[in-house]
Amino acid sequence: MPRLGLGVYKMEDGKEVVEAVKSAIELGYRHIDTASFYGNEEGVGKAIKESDIPREDLFITTKVWNDEQGYENTLEAFDRSLNKLGLDYIDLYLIHWPVPGKFTDTWKALEKLYKDGKVKAIGVSNFLPHHLEELMKDAEITPMVNQIELHPELHQQQTREFCAANGIQVEAWSPLAKGKYFDAPVLKELAEKYEKTPAQIILRWDFQNDIVAIPKSTNKDRQQQNADIFDFELTEEEIKRIDELNLDEKGRTGPHPDEFDY
Ligand SMILES: NC(=O)c1ccc[n+]([C@@H]2O[C@H](COP(=O)([O-])OP(=O)(O)OC[C@H]3O[C@@H](n4cnc5c(N)ncnc54)[C@H](OP(=O)(O)O)[C@@H]3O)[C@@H](O)[C@H]2O)c1
């Protein structure tokens, strides 16, 4: 799984998403993160088709939305996503949110899709340890990925530890916290030291913490910036200083999985 991808949430289907995905692919991105909820799978598929990159070199994630969950519904939702994307398999299919009473049946459908070879990997999103424990109680396959809101102000330590102990790859959504605290002194100072930007310092912090990140940008320069994080290294002490930004739950920019309005 490529360690850095392009998130496409809130990109409009049509020109906006097509151009953004094409420019990211031209810049070397090989990992795109969409979802049926984003309403732009068709545009993502169009950009893939119009790029010269062989399908097997790309890593495409999509997700089953809350009102599509349950066993049969998920199988149907998967076919819809596959059709919209114009693909014949998905690299990573995720349960978007842990809808109470539904997600274990949804997982059974993902296991079937995996066994049938229609998806290369299956995982979840926004799952806390208690959701993972419930899902794993009668799962045949352990989720391979958990995509959660994660950035320096929201460490998600317990979920990360649970995932590490169970071989689940953690992936960060809103890795830049939508730019909310780029002016934090430690980020500005390190950006100056390494001649990088605060966004690049955060994405390097992810990389050195073994977290896959999927920053969203429709802007080619910022896409390039976000992918240009592999030529410098933060020291352990600098990582600890970035860690001090953590606000735990107060650092959330999105909903808490147990308080989401399902
Ligand atoms: N599983 C889930 O429940 C869930 C929830 C939310 C998001 N996600 C996924 O995670 C992806 C990323 O999250 P996100 O879109 O919420 O937030 P994000 O990636 O943290 O931040 C995106 C915002 O930051 C700006 N930006 C990007 N790079 C920048 C840079 N180098 N310098 C300054 N500003 C920059 C973007 O503007 P420009 O576009 O103008 O550059 C955009 O406004 C989503 O697109 C989606 O794929 C998943």
**Could you read off the pLDDT of 196-222 as tens digits, one per residue?**
999 999 999 999 999 999 999 999 999
Q: For 248-262, what is each residue's pLDDT tens digit?
A: 999 999 999 999 988
pTM of the model: 0.98
**Residue 167, CA distances (Å) to 5, 41, 42, 195 in order:** 20, 29, 32, 35
Can you list the alpha helix ranges (DSSP code H) found in the chain? 15-27, 41-50, 71-85, 103-115, 129-137, 157-165, 185-194, 198-208, 220-227, 236-243
Q: Of ligand 1's atoms, which has the minimum distance to the CA of residue 179?
A: 24
Q: For 214-250, what is each residue's pLDDT tens digit?
A: 999 999 999 999 999 999 999 999 999 999 999 999 9
- 100 pLDDT tier (thresholds 50, 70, 90): very high
- Residue nearest atom 31 of ligand 1, based on CA coordinates: 222
Q: Of ligand 1's atoms, which has the minimum distance to the CA of residue 178?
A: 21
Return the number of other C-beta atoms located less than 10 Å from residue 161's C-beta.
11
pLDDT, mean of residues 137-164: 98
Q: For 65-82, what is each residue's pLDDT tens digit?
A: 999 999 999 999 999 999
Q: What are phi and psi of 153, to 5 degrees?
A: -85, -5
Q: What are phi and psi of 97, to 5 degrees?
A: -145, 150
pLDDT, mean of residues 183-196: 98
What residues act catalytically? 38
Q: Give 184 Cα–ligand 1 centroid separation in angstroms.
A: 18
**The predicted structure's pLDDT at residue 57:** 98
Are the beta carbons of 199 and 182 closer than 8 angstroms? yes
**The predicted structure's pLDDT at residue 41:** 98
**Euclidean distance between CA atoms 91 and 1, whole angstroms:** 9
**The predicted structure's pLDDT at residue 107:** 98
pLDDT, mean of residues 44-48: 98
Q: For 122-133, what is each residue's pLDDT tens digit?
A: 999 999 999 999
Radius of gyration of the chain (CA): 18
